[in-house]
Chains A and B, each alone.
Chain A
Amino acid sequence: MFAFKQSKGKSAGNKGSGGPKPPPLGRRVTSTPLSVSLAANAHAIRTQFGESSDLRLRITASPAAPGIKLAILYLQGIVDETSIREDILDKLQFAHADEETHGRGSKERQMQTLVHRLRTEIITAPLTEPVTTLERALDALLLGCCLVLVDGSSEAFATDAAGGAVRAVTEPTSQTVIRGPQQGFTESLETNIGQIRRIIRSEQMIVETQRIGRQTCTQVALIYMKNTVRMEFVEEARSRLAAIDIDGIIDSGYIEEFIQDKTFTLFPTVIHSERPDQVSAYLLEGHIAIISDGSPFGLIAPVTFFRFFQSPEDYYQRFDIASFLRMLRMSAFLLTIHLPALYIAITTFHQEMMPTNLLITLSAQREGIPLPALAEALLMELIFEVLREAGVRMPRAIGAAISVVGALVIGTASVQAGLVSAAMVIIVALTAMSSFVAPQLNIANSARLMRFLFMISAGMLGFVGIISLDLIFIIHLAGLHSFGIPYLAPMAPWVKGSWRDTIFRMPRWAMPLRPAMTHRGARKRVAGGKPKSQQQEAPQSLPPELPGQQQPSSMQGSGQGQQPGSGQGQQPGSGQSQQPGSGQGQQPGGGQGQQPGSGQGQQPGSGQGQQTGGGQSQQPGSGQGQLPQVAPVDHKRQPNEQRGEQQ
């Protein structure tokens, strides 16, 4: 750990006193050119891998290169062998020699042409790259490429064949929501980036990938929105990532520990999220995300304290319940760190603070309890933590047994045994429940530790202890930063207007600006003002000037071609749906496709097909044809709603 620390915060070129270090895999410095002999090259590579059994070598030949030996090398398990067979082997087998170039020029020249032709014409892998050095060849193999060596040429080439078993996209297990997207990140970086890209379809979203880890050479992606992020964050993130020099990155937790602003604090300064929707929402607000290959948890920075009480679901639910739940979560956080401490302080120092009846009830419960309240509380909280840890670590099959035993230990049995008072059980239960309310696991974890500090402090000094510790924590929080952003922002320092999305969650149209701390340039994200639909008495889904739409007969899809008024293609005004950038991509432009008469349905290039139209174009004549015309320029109204109304 100490060794890791040393490299932290230093630029890559300025290594500490660690003696000569082996160069990291991704940044090999030496370069050994490949030999012209295939056997020598293959031997060199196999030697480098120490005859590892997963390195596969296949000698083959191709009609395209008559009389020349070819070799295919790959690491089994990280490549997709089917695609190697289809894209490389098959193609090599069935290729023809190029009569025109055959036998022309010098031998070297011939070989060059051959290799080039193999790489660019014959092999159909999506990505190929010439390889001239041994080191590059090793890198390529390790990244899941298939290496093709050609006898007689010192130039080989690598083709992308990355694959192997990956977990399918499933629901996030640690951050569940009831309403909202239900897919979570997986261990595959490509999948994860794809999930985000699928949400933010904008070229403004930049993905910078680099490799970190001397041995693991893990791909780490830094993602941000070019038009909303403050470039300082990006530069800071780049430099912090560049400074990481470590054997391996197994999980994004490794990276978090290196890039967080302060290690010796109980509070996380980086959010980790399993949810692509959450990461995307943060990106849109000008944060940066860091995703590491092999970890289903993306990191989000910079984040402030209050962010940890916001669940993605806050934005999917109605604003009133979301605001209520936010306040509930914050209260629960305060409760979970203070409740046992308050119990200890009141029962051992400030008995006068209780109503008499409560005092007598508690007093009766404590009759015969052998432990002082502090020890009792510590014992119970520790037992609970043990139970909780057991619940996480134990094999699934033992779960039921543990919960039965756990319920006995933290339950009436321990009260009946006279070890703890019944009130203490309630306190522990309440504390535990409150700690699970936090939507971000890491703030719940810091609450777990804080709770013990508060308990000890309360046991020593009573209320004075609790208040002092509160003050200490507030001072500490006020001094924390996340990527330069004060941790208590936007409360301290106060940022005008941002209360709307801190403790409360105002309606979207009432939060037209992106958060001030993390944004540069145009801050507007929502067209301001109350949406029109709410200002009018009753929302009118269908403009009356378009005839035919309300006629039930048009629902059968029979008359669309005959109704010129409803024909999408004929209406120039509907052209907006062809503009992908206008945000109307989802506008049911796909509806055009269903109108055989208009002739557009067959054009896959119309752009809408991928977006919403995908579902629609399979049902020609299902009555959606009349929809598109509805789309007067109303951004706020979901086209899907309208479809629902009509059908």
Chain B
Amino acid sequence: MKRSYAKGTMSEWSLLRRSLAALLLLLLLGVAGCWDRQELNELGIISATGIDITDSGRWKLSYQLVIPNAISSQGAYVGSSASPVNVFTTEGDSFRGAVNKATQEMSRRLYFSHNQIVIVGEKAARKGIAPLIEAYMRNGDSRETVAIFVTEGTARKVLEQLLPLEKISGAGINRLIGLEEKYGGNFRAMTMFELGQSMLGPVHVGGVAGIGLRGNGDPVDSVDAAKATHTGTKVRLQKVAIFKENRMIGWMTSHESRGILWAKGWVKETSVSFACEGERLKRNSIRIRQKKGKITPIKQGSSWLMRVEVSGEGALMEYNCPGDMSKPGNLRPIAERIEQELKDDIEDSIRGAQSLHADIFGFGNLLLKQHTREWKKIHKNWNEQGFPKIESEVIVKVKINKTGRSVNSYNNTIKEMHDKE
């Protein structure tokens, strides 16, 4: 009850002493100082990094430096006179050595924490990207969760490209792949960390989305060029670079990439086009959501069978074929055609991977987990000898949940009406 109250007399001295002690403590804070403080306007924020390699084997690092003032002034890059980003390049034998050289030409400290994407030029990728991953894993300020891409040409060219609607093209590309992953179902964002992990995995294979410039016009690398209503070239996701043991070994098409995503169960939502009975043009499409994507290794004598089970369901978005769809039973043949379409995708991608000698499906990983003893016998030269010989069985199940707001094909009804008359 009486604690702290009845402390007795506090002399003037003790008060003074206490105040002095408090003051000294405050001064101590000053000793800690603000030594590692960095103000926002002392930072050069990097939104994207490009990795190229010179003929002599030196790294050429390109940075997309954000110019905040150009961005923050109201409106998109259109209308603002200054370019929202600035791309520059430094060279060095090592990555961080090259980064360090930036101090010779940049007035601000390069700040990588908000780096959104890393684009690796094909040449550099084929040379090996282990040093890149090493640099990313070791340093705190560069995040290993950054998305990585491979481009056919030089990475710098992609960094220079401005995207419509996006002020910072690095962030824009990151958003692009996110959107594609969510709604497109053809490509998947690969982070530096995932890539490093998959190349350390049992099969040492990883796939990285490719990015490139498409179009025949001039590159949109200046604000003036972006003032037109159309752009000569645009950044586009295309193909998948397959990495094996640190090096890139080849490309797979986006059609094959889609097969990989289906087989691995990475598709979230996509639309699939399919043809009518007896037609070649895929005039119909369905919005489909993946429900299952499972790979099971099954032993068949001395070899292995890769069973891929995939299922999905969705709603028709476009249908131009004859047939009465008001009966649920009649939907089954349509679903089968979609199943066939997906099956082709997956089988093509398996064939593609086998011809590249790269087990991008991670079949070996499953063997390691489920049949460890057998895997130990065959894991040597798995990509070269084991994987290409694998048989595969693809089972696809598609359910059409809805036919959309209409039932029968409008196009077909018109045709029938015409025929009747």
Contacts and interface: CB of A to CB of B under 8 A. Distances in A.
Physical interaction between A and B: yes
Interface of A: 2, 5-6, 9-10, 16, 232, 236, 240, 261-262, 264, 347-349, 351-352, 356-357, 359-369, 372-374, 456-457, 459-461, 481, 483-484
For the complex, would chain A's binding face be called helix, strand, loop or mixed by DSSP majority?
helix
Contacts of A356: 45, 47, 114, 116, 168, 171
A236 B4 CA distance: 13
Given A356-B116, A356-B168, A460-B33, 5 more contacts: A264-B18, A351-B43, A360-B71, A362-B40, A456-B26
A363 B33 contact: no
A373 B40 contact: yes
Contacts of B66: 360, 363
A460 B37 CA distance: 8
A459 B32 CA distance: 10
Nearest to B141: A352
B30 A347 contact: no
Which 3 A-B pairs rank lowest in CB-CB distance, beginning with the nearest?
A364-B72, A364-B68, A352-B113
Interface of B: 1-10, 12, 15, 18, 26, 29-30, 32-34, 36-41, 43, 45, 47, 66, 68-69, 71-73, 111, 113-114, 116, 141, 143, 168, 171
Nearest to A422: B72
Counting chain B CB atoms within 10 Å of each CB, the highest count among A9, A236, A262 belongs to: A9
B405 to A, nearest CB: 37
B36 A349 contact: yes
B40 A347 contact: yes
Nearest to B5: A261
B10 A352 contact: no
A492 to B, nearest CB: 16
Given A9-B6, A368-B41, A461-B32, A360 B68 contact: yes
Contacts of A460: 29-30, 32-34
Contacts of A360: 45, 66, 68, 71-72, 168
B72 A347 contact: no
Counting chain A CB atoms within 10 Å of each CB, the highest count among B9, B12, B141 belongs to: B9
A106 B348 CA distance: 137
Given A5-B15, A347-B39, A363 B68 contact: yes
Contacts of A349: 36-38
A9 B5 contact: yes
A236 B2 contact: yes
B4 A262 contact: yes
Contacts of A352: 113-114, 141, 143
B341 to A, nearest CB: 39
A262 B7 CA distance: 10
Nearest to A456: B29
A364 B66 CA distance: 10
B156 to A, nearest CB: 21
Nearest to A484: B1
Contact of B71 (A2, A236, A364, A461): A364
Contacts of A365: 72
A363 B71 CA distance: 10
Contacts of A372: 34, 37, 39
Nearest to B10: A5
Contacts of A261: 3-5
Contacts of B168: 356, 360
Nearest to B19: A264
Counting chain A CB atoms within 10 Å of each CB, the highest count among B36, B66, B68 belongs to: B68
A382 B12 CA distance: 31
A348 B111 contact: no
A366 B171 contact: no
Contact of B41 (A240, A363, A459): A363
B8 A363 contact: no
Contacts of B5: 9, 236, 240, 261
B185 to A, nearest CB: 26
Given A232-B1, A236-B1, A363 B40 contact: yes
B2 A484 contact: yes
A161 B111 CA distance: 80
A361 B40 CA distance: 10
13 contacts: A2-B12, A9-B7, A349-B37, A356-B45, A359-B45, A361-B71, A363-B45, A363-B72, A372-B39, A373-B40, A459-B34, A460-B29, A481-B4
Nearest to A344: B37
Nearest to A262: B4
Contacts of A368: 41
A347 B113 CA distance: 13
Nearest to B41: A366
Nearest to A346: B40
A4 to B, nearest CB: 11
Given A232-B1, A261-B5, A348 B69 contact: no
A408 to B, nearest CB: 23
B72 A361 contact: yes
A369 B42 CA distance: 11
B4 A16 contact: no
Contacts of A240: 5
A384 B141 CA distance: 36
A483 B5 CA distance: 9
Contacts of B72: 360-361, 363-365
Nearest to B30: A460
